Chains A and B, each alone.
Chain A
Amino acid sequence: MERLLPQSEREEGVFEVTIDAADVTISKEVLYRALGYSDNRIDPHFKDIVDHVLAGIHDLCAVRAGYRVLDAHVKADRGEGLVVGRTFITTGCTIAGQLKNAEKAALFLCTIGPGMEAWSRRLFREGDPVRGHFVDTAASLAAEKAAAVLHDHIGLVMAGGGLKVTNRFSPGYCGWPVADQRRLFSFFPENFCGISLTESALMVPVKSVSGMIGIGAHAMRENYSCERCSRKECTASRAYKNSAPT
């Protein structure tokens, strides 16, 4: 359920939002589907593993999330991206098209921390790859859930000023190069929310999500158009499909 969460200003215009581990809980059914199973086709042993993994999420997820809102506009002569603050971000035409009505953009970061990732790696190391795979999948879904909760929160904050928000978009998807991650991170203080970037623009902890949300009086959240993205199999698309009303 959408609700306004507590937030504090870390530095001018940069907000950290308090998201509890309970807010990123995922249901068994969502995890079954992300693993490939419809509810009635999963082996009882796998169901037991799912129960075990989901029970661990609360203790192992240390969610941190934050955002910054800046003026933004798509430049008519540079359709492959948009200007955020004074920086041109090369999101690609697909995302720029989705953000064409944006007057502002919320850049965001969130993570569930390193706990789930470490658990998964340990299980693989100890010879339990099945459980390790389940933990990794659950962790990816929890990170997406954290991003969804933050997205809803930003939507409510903006609604207070009479503005609406678009879908959220992340580097690596819909044609937005992963390398642009560095530009996105430049808008935040170093190690904001405990997330850093490796030389190859990989976020650490790995179970983190970064991205951008368009804001404006005429901005709209639409159904995700995964068919427009070149990545045919990703946790985000599975999460969107799973959260879609049936």
Chain B
Amino acid sequence: MNELVETIGRCVERGKINKASPFPGDMKGLDGADELTHQALEAGTDAEAILQACIAAMVRIGEKFGRNEVFVPEMLMAAKAMKAVTEHLKPFFQSGSVQAKGTFIIGTVAGDLHDIGKNLVSMFVEGNGWNVVDLGVDVKPEKFIDAIRKQPKCVVGLSALLTTTIVSMSKTVQEIRALFPSINIVVGGAPLTMEIAKEMGANGYARDPQGAVRWLAAIREAS
């Protein structure tokens, strides 16, 4: 891997978005993911190699999060740095020379207005190379179904924070399942457990953003 690509990966892992960003303190004033990706592409570096280095960086920061070595703010900075990279890679996605891992449709289920957890998962999954369609909060089953019709090969993520909205989540899973029996659905949120996820008919449960990324990687591997 060339040194510039490695440095871009390091910028993503450390959440160094661009030169103007004061974060992290020890990289202040240095070029960030934005400038370095531009330079790398100008120098003819393979876009796919940049993407893979950045995905590996996102996995590393996710693992650090899992070990409590970093916290949500560092994860968010890393996701922002990743976004700066993917902005440069957009033309390569559009031309097909770089492929997204798939489409992930996510939303907080009807009756629930909480979105911080959902936003974190959304950003992190996107940072891991997925095309993300974020439907927002208080999403009714019909809205999920409409979105799935447009992307029938997608994976669906449902979020809820309240125990009362588990019922709504369960209903959403059932309505999606009735029309798309083989679709993969992952659920997450404070009141959930693996057992509840299984009972409602979801394929997977993710307790945090990294869990969602791991689960998505596993189903992609299996398919």
Contact = CB atoms under 8 A, between A and B. Distances in A.
Partners in one complex: yes
Interface of A: 35-37, 43-46, 48, 120-121, 124, 127, 129-130, 132-134, 136, 172, 177-179, 198-202, 204, 206, 231, 233-234
Contact of A44 (B25, B73, B163): B25
Contacts of A48: 22
A134 B73 contact: yes
Interface stretch (B115-123, B178-186, B210-218): B115-123
A36 B21 CA distance: 22
Given A43-B23, A44-B22, A202 B112 contact: yes
Nearest to A36: B71
B71 A37 contact: yes
B168 A200 contact: yes
Contact of A206 (B24, B113, B119): B113
A224 to B, nearest CB: 18
A236 to B, nearest CB: 12
Q: Which 10 A-B pairs have the closest CB atoms?
A: A200-B111, A36-B71, A45-B23, A200-B164, A45-B22, A201-B164, A130-B76, A129-B76, A178-B163, A178-B164
Interface string B16-50: 00000111110000000000000000000000000
B24 A43 contact: yes
B80 interface: yes
Given A44-B25, A231-B190, A121 B115 contact: yes
B165 interface: yes
A45 B24 contact: yes
Contacts of B76: 129-130, 133
B113 A202 contact: yes
Contact of B123 (A129, A204, A234): A129
Interface string B112-152: 11111001100100000000000000000000000000000
Given A134-B73, A231-B190, A206 B114 contact: yes
Contacts of B123: 129
Contacts of A45: 21-25
B111 A133 contact: no
A136 B73 contact: no
Nearest to A46: B73
B47 to A, nearest CB: 23
Contacts of B80: 127, 129-130
Given A35-B71, A133-B72, A172 B24 contact: no
A48 B119 CA distance: 23
Given A36-B72, A198-B111, A133 B164 contact: no
Contact of B164 (A43, A124, A202, A204): A202
6 contacts: A121-B115, A124-B116, A129-B80, A130-B80, A136-B116, A200-B110
Given A45-B24, A130-B80, A200 B73 contact: no
B206 interface: no
Contacts of B200: none
A199 B116 contact: no
B14 to A, nearest CB: 10
Contacts of B119: 124, 129, 132
Contact of B111 (A120, A121, A134, A202): A202
B98 interface: no
B190 A200 contact: no
B73 A201 contact: no
A201 B168 CA distance: 12
Contact of A133 (B24, B116, B190): B116
A43 B71 contact: no
Contacts of B68: 36
